[in-house]
Amino acid sequence: MGFTEVAATRRSVHQYSDDPIDRSTLDTIFETATLAPSGYNLQPWEFLVLRDDETKTALKEVASGQEHVVDADTAVVILGNTDPMAHAETVFDDWLAKEYIPNEDVRDTLLDNVEAMAGMSEAERRVWTTRSSALAAMTLMYAAWEHGVASCPMEGFDDDALVQTFDIPDGYEPVMIVTLGYPDEEASDIENERKGRRPIENVVHYESFDPSAETTLETPDIGG
C-alpha cells in the first residue's frame, strides 16, 4: 500500500491476536527501520527485542502493568546511545568512500564537530539521541504495518526500573517502547473511529509563528 494509506490506516493497537510474527518478517521490519535518517547518519539507535513471556512480563512490571506489553508477540525497547562519537569515525569513512565529502580534511572537521557535540550536557545528549531514535521508531512502526503488523508506541514507563531490570549500561536512553503484533480481529483501536487530530490550519504557520491558544480537533478522513 502507498505511504499515505499506511499512515492513514496505522492505529495504535492494544489488542493482539496470538499469531506469531515470523523471524524473517521481523528482520525485514528492523532492516527498514535502520533506513531512517539521523543527525550526521550517526544512528544512535539500539533495539532490545523481547519475545519470551518472562522478559515481556518483566517489561510490563516497569510499564505501569500494561497488559498489551505481554499480549503482543514482541515488545521492543528503543534505546538511544547518548554518545555522538560512538560510531562517528566509521560513518565519516563511509561518507569519504562514497564521495559525500571530498577529502580527509573535511572528514576530520566533521569528526571535530561531533566531538564538540559530545561535550554537550547530559540533558542535551538525551534530547539529541531521542530525536534520531524516534525517527527510527516511527519508521519501525510504518514498516511493521506494511506487513500487517500493528504497533503501539509507549512512553511514561519507569526509566530507572527499566534500566535496572534489563541491566542497561550507562549511556543509553530508553526512548520508547513499541509493541508489535498482528491485531486482534475485534481490536477496538481499529474498530473505533480514529482519534482526532489538530487540523493543519492550527498547526501549520506560514512565515511567522503565531500559535493558536484554542485546541480544536478533526477526525481524519484522508486515505482510509
Residues 52-111 that bind a second copy (CB under 8 A): 52, 55, 77, 79, 81, 86-87, 89-91, 94-95, 98-100
19, 20, 49, 104: residue in contact with a second copy (rule CB under 8 A)? 49
In this structure, the number of other CB atoms found within 10 A of the CB of residue 40 comes to 18
24, 185, 186, 206: residue in contact with a second copy (rule CB under 8 A)? 206
Report the run of H or E that residue 136 belongs to, with start and end: helix 122-146
DSSP state of 39: G
Q: Which residue, 12 or 17, has its beta carbon nearer to a second copy? A: 12
- Long-range contacts of residues 153-156, Cβ cutoff 8 Å, at least 24 apart: 153/12, 153/177, 153/178, 154/63, 154/66, 154/69, 154/178, 154/179, 156/64
State the nearest-atom distance from the C-beta of 59 to a second copy, in Å: 11
The answer to whether 25 and 149 have CB atoms below 8 angstroms apart is yes
DSSP state of 185: T
The answer to whether 5 and 220 have CB atoms below 8 angstroms apart is no
CA distances (Å), 154 to each of 3, 53, 76, in order? 23, 19, 10
Residues 121-180 that bind a second copy (CB under 8 A): 123, 126-128, 130-132, 134-135, 137-139, 141-143, 145-146, 153, 155-156, 166-169, 172-173, 175-176
| Closest C-alpha among 146, 185, 192 to residue 5 | 146
User: Which x/- pattern, by CB under 8 A, does the window 25-44 give for a second copy?
Assistant: --xx-xxx-xxxx-x-x-x-
Judged by CB under 8 A, the number of residues near a second copy is 97
Which residues touch 27 (CB under 8 Å, ≥6 apart)? Answer: none
Residues 185-204 that bind a second copy (CB under 8 A): 188-189, 192-193, 195-200, 203-204
Kindly state whether residue 2 participates in binding a second copy, applying the rule CB under 8 A. yes
State the nearest-atom distance from the C-beta of 126 to a second copy, in Å: 5
Q: Which residue, 17 or 85, has its beta carbon nearer to a second copy? A: 85
State the nearest-atom distance from the C-beta of 224 to a second copy, in Å: 11
